[in-house]
Amino acid sequence: MDGGEKMKVELPKAFRELLTVRARYKLFYGGRAGGKSFAFADALLTQATSRKLLIACVREVQNSIKDSVYKLIADRIAFYGLGEYRLYEDRIVNRKNQSKFIFKGIMDHNAQNIKSLEGVDICWCEEAQKISERAWQILDPTIRKPGAEIWLSMNREEEADPVWKALARHPDSDTVIRKVNYYDNPYCPENMRRLAARCKAENYDEYLHVWEGEPRLLAGDHLIGRQEVFRAMQNKPEGDVRTAPLIAGVDVARFGDDKTVFCLRQGRQVLSFKAFQKLDVVQAAHRVGAMIAAEHPARVCIDVGGVGAGVYDVLAADGFAEYIVPVNFGERAELAERYANRRAEMWARAAAWLSSPLPVSLPDIPGLAEDLTAPLKTFDSLGRLQLEPKADIKKRLGRSPDLGDALALTFAVQNEAYLLKGSRGGEYVDDAIYV
């Protein structure tokens, strides 16, 4: 009988899309005990029980079947009492519908081995952070049956994990990317939760990597630490901030794949980020104009290093001259004896703001923590703080840290007369924390 059988599984909610959505790539990442391995095994068994499928479980290298997920799948078959499956030495076969699980190392391939993957319906890459660029280049085009899916489970190792770079940096509509951690796993054992809590208290960076699936930070001195960013994201905006002026930062896209980002900050609270792709100079200027009309910021600090200069000119011609402040990242800092340039100075103010003893808040949006923690700091020959060049960050991150730049721009102005009045009336009282 081909098909028709139903197997009842309780797949944790976070993994539902494994079964409910059609997509070429499904990448689930996160830290330890997120339930990834169990959920993938259960979802695959559900599929293989209901219709005839060829399923390949692959990893970079498989020295023996013990390296594979064979045992996990066999355990789940036993747990569910699925009598129709037969365990062979190197494969598992459903005797009712002929579904088959095979287990392969991508790089142990000889031509014959690769061929065996061509008819695969679903390919599971477990520990996908370990898959090399070369292996991915072999695997991806080999899974070529129409409608075939590649499922990936991973705990990110570095920002530049090859599979992450290939799939998650600019995901398309055929790609599902989901983060799943121990707190999303309803079956997470109590001792694992305890270990996670202890690690969180003792070493936050380690915790973020091991338990939250964040890539390791590059060794080196980062200007902004993760702890401050995550703390700010957990703080809810509190009460009345009308006494502080509303300042907008506008980071204008320099290249086709960068984004134009607006950041609105009022004192200790970032109210919003808005990102736009592929705006020309005039469109970008009109968006800024509309934002000024809607939000009434006291000042809008615009990056005029590249095309932003054109945006500034259009806004000035449109009558917004009194609101807009041109900022050139490369120009001399206000405190030129401490900072190598304006960019370093503004980012340093953002860093000081984030580590302020008074609570500050940031929206918890994807990519923001990565952008803010990306730049490394060094000191120039005069002992002034300088930031890692944008081009280097971009190479590593796969994009510019546009969200971070937009926030930094909100610190371009301070201690000026209009700030003391407050943009929406009222006295401006907490200037001191920006310095």
Residues 6+ apart with CB under 8 A from 52: 2, 3, 94, 97, 98, 99
Radius of gyration in angstroms for the set of CA atoms belonging to the chain, rounded to a whole number: 26
Binder to ligand ATP among 68, 185, 361, 373 (CB under 6 A)? 185
Of the candidates 144, 163, 160, 193, which has an alpha carbon nearest to the alpha carbon of residue 33? 193
Of ligand ATP, Mg ion, none, which one sits near residue 122, judging by CB under 5 to 8 A according to partner kind?
Answer: none
- Ranges within 18-77 binding ligand ATP (CB under 6 A): 32-38, 42
Q: What tokens were used for 182? A: 């121990």
Binder to ligand ATP among 86, 98, 187, 364 (CB under 6 A)? 187
- With binding defined as CB under 6 A, does residue 418 bind ligand ATP? no
Q: Which is nearer to Mg ion, 123 or 408 (CB)?
A: 123
Q: How far is CA 195 from CA 172, 187, 200, 202, in A?
A: 36, 15, 9, 11
Q: Which is nearer to Mg ion, 37 or 378 (CB)?
A: 37
- With binding defined as CB under 6 A, does residue 3 bind ligand ATP? no
Of Mg ion, ligand ATP, none, which one sits near residue 47, judging by CB under 5 to 8 A according to partner kind?
Answer: none
How far apart CA 24 and CA 163 sit, in angstroms, is 14
- Token pair 């005029």 is found at 304
The window from 31-39, 108-116, 273-281, 347-355 that contacts Mg ion (CB under 5 A) reads: 31-39
Rounded least distance, CB 152 to ligand ATP, Å: 12
Of ligand ATP, Mg ion, none, which one sits near residue 268, judging by CB under 5 to 8 A according to partner kind?
Answer: none
- With binding defined as CB under 6 A, does residue 188 bind ligand ATP? yes
Residue nearest to Mg ion (CB): 37
- With binding defined as CB under 5 A, does residue 132 bind Mg ion? no
Rounded least distance, CB 79 to ligand ATP, Å: 8
Q: Which is nearer to ligand ATP, 207 or 347 (CB)?
A: 207
- With binding defined as CB under 6 A, does residue 196 bind ligand ATP? no
Contact 100, 92 (CB under 8 A): yes
The window from 34-42, 139-147, 206-214, 298-306 that contacts Mg ion (CB under 5 A) reads: 34-42
Of the candidates 269, 202, 192, which has an alpha carbon nearest to the alpha carbon of residue 236? 269
How far apart CA 163 and CA 165 sit, in angstroms, is 5
Q: Which is nearer to ligand ATP, 171 or 186 (CB)?
A: 186
Strands (E), 76-142: 85-87, 91-94, 100-105, 122-125
Rounded least distance, CB 32 to ligand ATP, Å: 4
- With binding defined as CB under 5 A, does residue 50 bind Mg ion? no
Contact 222, 375 (CB under 8 A): yes
Contact 428, 420 (CB under 8 A): yes
Q: CB count, 10 Å around CB of 224? A: 23
- With binding defined as CB under 5 A, does residue 113 bind Mg ion? no
Of the candidates 283, 255, 223, 169, which has an alpha carbon nearest to the alpha carbon of residue 408? 223
Q: Which is nearer to Mg ion, 37 or 386 (CB)?
A: 37
Binder to Mg ion among 7, 37, 91, 377 (CB under 5 A)? 37
**Site of interaction with ligand ATP (CB under 6 A):** 32-38, 42, 155, 185, 187-189
Q: Which residues bind Mg ion (CB under 5 A)?
A: 37
